[in-house]
Structure 1
C-alpha cells in the first residue's frame, strides 16, 4: 500500500499512481520475449542497393533537401566511465612501488593494457596528459616505467588531472588534427554539415545529462568559429534532458514497491527508450539518428555522408509513394485498382507479410511514421539486429530486436538468433510527418510490452529495475521499417579507449 508520503513523491516526480501500479503489474506479470520467426538477411527483409541505385537515392535527396526541414538527433547523455574500465582496474591492482610492470602486463587478462601502453602516442589526448605530468613532475622522464604508466593513467582519468572518467563521452578528445583536439561532439557537427544541412544551416539536437549541458554549450562556443569557417555551414543546436516523468519505480524481488531506509520510493532512469519523449518533442521532415560515439576522422566523412544520403533518398522515395496512395485512399471513391496497388506496395516494399485487404486496415499501416535503418554485417559485436517477429495478434513485421528480448533458453529461438547475419549500428533516418505535413504523435506507435526487467542493487539491497521499450526497438515497434545494408565503415563506436586506435580514428 502506498502511503500519503509516497503518493506525494509520485506526484512531485511528474508521475501518477495509475502509472506506478501499471509498472508494478509489469514486474508481476513479466515481459514476454519477442517471438522470432526468422533472422532478416540480404534480400529477405534487408535491401542491398547497386551503385546505380545508391546514386539515384543520393541524387533524389540532394534535389529535395533545400525544400526540407532536416535534423540530426544525437543521444549524448552518457559519461565516459565505461571507456576506461580496464584502466581503473590497473590503478587498483598495480602497485608501482612493488610490482614489476613487465610481468604485470604479460598476464593473460591484461591484453587491453598491453595494447594501450604500446600505443600511448597514438591517443589524441596523450600530449595533454604528458604536458600536465611534466609541469607537475619535472623529473617525470626519470621515473621507472611502471611509475610513469601509473601516473599517466591517473593524470588522464583522475579528478585532479584531465578527469576524462567524469567527462561526458561526447566531450572526450577523439581525434587530433595538428594542434587541435576534436571531441565526438565536434565530429558530429562537422559530419552534419555534409548531409543534415538545408540552405546552409545544420540543425542538431543533443540529449544530454542536465549537469552536462553547460559543458556542451561552452565547448560549442570554443569551436563554433572554426567549424563554421571549415564547413561553410551555420549550426543551430538544441539540447534536452531525459524527463523525470519517464523514470520507473524500483521493485522488491517480490514485485512490490521498493522503499529505502526512510520509507521513500526509489525511482530509476528507464533507459534510452525514455528518449522517445525527447524525439517526440522535436519536428522535421527528416530526422537522422546516430549515437554520439559513432564518428570517424575527417578523411572518412564524405563516405559516411554518402551512405546517409542513400538512406534519406530511400526514405523520400517511400514517402512519395505512401503519400500518393494515402491521398487516393482518402478520396470519396476508391477503386479496386488502388486497393490492390496499396496491398502490393505494403507486401513488396514495406515487407509486411500478412497484407490487409480493407481500406481502413491499409490506411492504418500506411499512416504511421517510417524509418529506414542502416544495418551492417554481423561482426559479433553485442547488441540487437533485424528479425522478422510475430506479435500477439499474429501480425508479422521486421523489427530491431535486442538479444535480451530473445528467449535463449528456447533452443529454437536461440538457433534463430544465432543465424543473424546483420547488426543494428543505430543508423536511422526517420520520417515523422504524415501526407499533409502534420507531425505524428510518436508515443502512439510504441509497444509498451517490449521493455526489459533487470536485477540491480540499491545501497547493497537487491532490487528489480524496469527499462522502457528501447528507442529503436519497442519504442518504434509500430513504425514502418525498412532495413538497408550499409558498409562496416559506417559503424565506428568508441566503447573502450582502445577503439580510438582503429584506423578510422587515426588522423596521421
Structure 2
C-alpha cells in the first residue's frame, strides 16, 4: 500500500504537527519494504592501511599546531548525553524482579554455579564502598538510623539495590546516566557531566578563557541538566579558572521515525495514532549542524576518566585537534591553488596525492582526464573534515573502521556497525570479526569551508545507511528504523582520517560495575 490511501486525515495532521512531510513518511516505509542496504566491506582498516600511527615526535608536533590554533580559532565540545541509566543498572533490575517474584535463588548458591547475574550482584554489593555514590547511600541509611546492610543475604542485597534505584532512595533508576556520580575525590563526587567540564578546560579553551560545551539531552531531563549546571557553574569556574559557555539541545521530534508492524504496516497505538520512535544518535546530526565553530570535539557522555588520567587523554585530544587543523589548512590551500586560472599539473598531482594518501580516496581518480581529475579533486576537497581516534580492539562491542566499496565502485574508509553488514554473508561476517581496532567515539571535526562558511552537514549523509531493529511495545512486536548513525552514515561523505590513539581515550561505563575498574578508581 502506498500514497494517501494508507493514511487518514488525522495521520496527516500528526505529520504536520511533527513537521515531517508525507513524502518522508513514504520514503521511510519503502525502506522497511526493501530492507536496509548492507555495506560492502572490503577489509578492516589496520595500522598502515587506513589507520595512521603517529610517532611521539608527530604527536608533539600536532599538539603544538593545536596550541597555536587556540589563539584565533573557536572551539566547542559536542556531547550526546540523552542516554538513560536503565542499561547501566539492567542486572540490578533483572535480579530485583526475580527476588520480588520469589524466583531468585540464594545468591551464594547461584554464584557457586557461576550464574552471571548472581556474580554481578555479589560483586556490586561486596564492593559497595568503592562506588563514588557510596557516601550518599551511607547518608541515606544514617538518616533512618540504620547501618548499610552487609549484603550477606538476598534480603539485604534487595535493600541495597532499592536504596540505589528507588525514588525514595538515590532514585538512580530515574536519572540520566550523565548525572550519576562516577568518581569520588575525597568528600567531593563528580558525575560524567561534571568530568567533561573539568576535562574540556584542559584542551578546549577559546582565547585562553572561554570553554564551550554543547550537551544533547532528553526533553524530560533538560531542566534537570540546566539546574545542575547553574548550581555548579560558579564553583567550577573558580576552581579551574575558566568561563563556561554551556548550552543544551534536545532531539527534534521531526527526526523521529515511523514504526511498523512485522508486516510493514504503520504501527498504531491503542488510541489509533501512528507510533513514532527516536531516530537513534544519527538524528543528532541536526543538533551538530547548528554549531558554527572552527574545531569541534565529539565524545560520548559516559566516556570519562578521573583526574589522574586526564593529562594523557588531553594530550591525545590536542594531537587529534592539531592534525585536523593541519589537514584543513592543507585542504584550503589546494582548493585555492586549483581554483586559479594558472593551476598546473604539478599542483594537480600534488592535490591528488594529498587526498589519496591522507583521506584514502585514490580509487576515485581511476581513468579520469586531467580536467575531470581537477573537478573531482576540488569536489572531494570541499567537504567537512573529521579525525577519528581508534583504539586497539580488545573485544569491545560496537563500530570499527573498514574499507568500504560504494555503489560507484570506489572505496572509502568508514566506521561500520555490525547492523550495517549482511549477517547471511559469511564473507562479510568474517571480515567484520577480523577488525583490529575499535571506534571509541573520539572525534574532532572541521565543519567550515575554505571561505569560512559552515557546511550544511545534511548534504554529506548516506541516507540509505539506516538501521532496522526488532522491538516491542506492550507485548506487541514492531520494527523500528534508526537514521544513519552520527559517525556512520551521517558522516559517510566527510573527508576522514583514522588515527590510533591511547587506550585512555576509551573508558566508558556500560554497566554499574564498570565503575570498579582501575581506570575509574580515583
Could you state the TM-score of these two structures normalised by the residue count of structure 2? 0.94
Corresponding residue of 2:77: 72
- Cross-structure match for 1:208: 217
- The alignment's C-alpha RMSD in Å is 1.7
Q: Which of 418, 427, 437 lines up with 1:422 in the alignment? A: 437
Give the alignment partner of residue 389 of structure 1, picking from 392, 404, 419. 404
Mapped contact 1:77–1:207 kept (Cα < 8 A): yes
CA shift in 2, pair 1:143/1:178, >3 Å: closer
Partner of 1:125: 133
How far 1:7 sits from its partner (Å)? 0.7
In structure 1, the partner of 2:109 is 103
- Name 2:200's counterpart in structure 1: 192
C-alpha distance in structure 2 between counterparts of 1:392 and 1:56, whole Å? 38
Over 3 Å counting, the alpha-carbon distance change for 1:242 and 1:143 in structure 2 is: closer
Cα gap change, 1:141 to 1:15, in 2 (>3 Å) = closer
Indicate yes or no: 2:159 matched with 1:151.
Answer: yes
Between 1:248-257 and 1:442-451, the stretch displaced more is: 248-257
Would you say 1:285 and 2:300 are equivalent positions? no
Deviation (angstroms), 1:118: 2.2
CA distance in 2, matches of 1:360, 1:353: 15
Q: Distance in 2 between matches of 1:338 and 1:254?
A: 56
Residue 228 (structure 2) pairs with residue 223 (structure 1): no
SS of structure 2 residue aligned to 1:333? coil
Q: Does 2:251 correspond to 1:242? A: yes
Structure 2: give runs of 5+ residues left out of the alignment: 1-5
* Alignment partner, residue 173 of structure 1: 181
Q: What is the rounded CA distance, in whole Å, between the counterparts of 1:378 and 1:20 in structure 2?
A: 38
**Alignment check: 8 A CA contact 2:131 2:515 kept:** yes
Q: Does 1:501 align with 2:519?
A: no
C-alpha distance in 2 between matches for 1:208 and 1:303:
28
Aligned partners of 1:142 and 1:85: how far apart in 2?
22
* SS, match of residue 386 in structure 1: strand
Who is 1:271 aligned against?
280
**Partner residue of 2:264 out of 221, 236, 255:** 255
5+ residue gaps, structure 1: none
The change in CA–CA distance for 1:56 and 1:142 in structure 2 (over 3 A counts) is closer
The superposition leaves residues 298-328 of structure 1 with CA deviations (integer Å, 9 ceiling, x where unpaired) of 1111111000011011111111111000011
Alpha-carbon distance between aligned partners in 1 of 2:151 and 2:416, rounded to the nearest angstrom: 51
* Contact preservation (8 Å) 2:141, 2:147: no
Q: Using the TM superposition, give the Cα deviation of residue 407 of structure 1 relative to its aligned residue in structure 2, in angstroms.
A: 1.6
Q: Tell me the CA shift for residue 465 of structure 1.
A: 0.9
The answer to whether structure 1 residue 138 and structure 2 residue 146 are counterparts is yes
Q: Hey, what's the Cα distance between the residues in 2 that align with 1:116 and 1:315?
A: 42
What is aligned with 1:18?
A: 23
SS, match of residue 341 in structure 1:
helix
The whole-number CA distance in structure 1 between the counterparts of 2:100 and 2:145 is 19
> What is the Cα deviation at residue 283 of structure 1?
1.2
Query: Are 2:178 and 1:163 equivalent residues in the alignment?
Result: no
* Distance in 1 separating the partners of 2:439 and 2:295: 20
Moved more, 170-179 or 101-110: 101-110
What is the SS of the residue equivalent to 1:49? Answer: coil
* Higher mean displacement: 271-280 or 226-235: 226-235
Question: Quick one: distance in 1 between partners of 2:404 and 2:301?
Answer: 29
Taking the aligned partners of 2:152 and 2:125, their CA distance within structure 1 comes to 14
Displacement of 1:138 in angstroms is: 3.1
Aligned length: 507
Q: Which residue of 2 aligns with 1:41?
A: 46
Q: 1:78 to 1:225 in 2, by over 3 A?
A: same
Q: Deviations over 1:375-427 (max 9, x none)?
A: 00001111010000001111110000001111232121111112100000000
Contact in 2 for aligned 1:373/1:427 (Cα 8 Å): yes
Q: Does the aligned pair in 2 maintain the 1:346–1:355 contact within 8 Å?
A: no
Of residues 462, 465, 475, the one that matches 2:477 is 462
Q: Distance in 2 between matches of 1:264 and 1:94?
A: 37
Structure 1 counterpart SS, 2:261: coil
1:92 to 97, 103, 110: 97
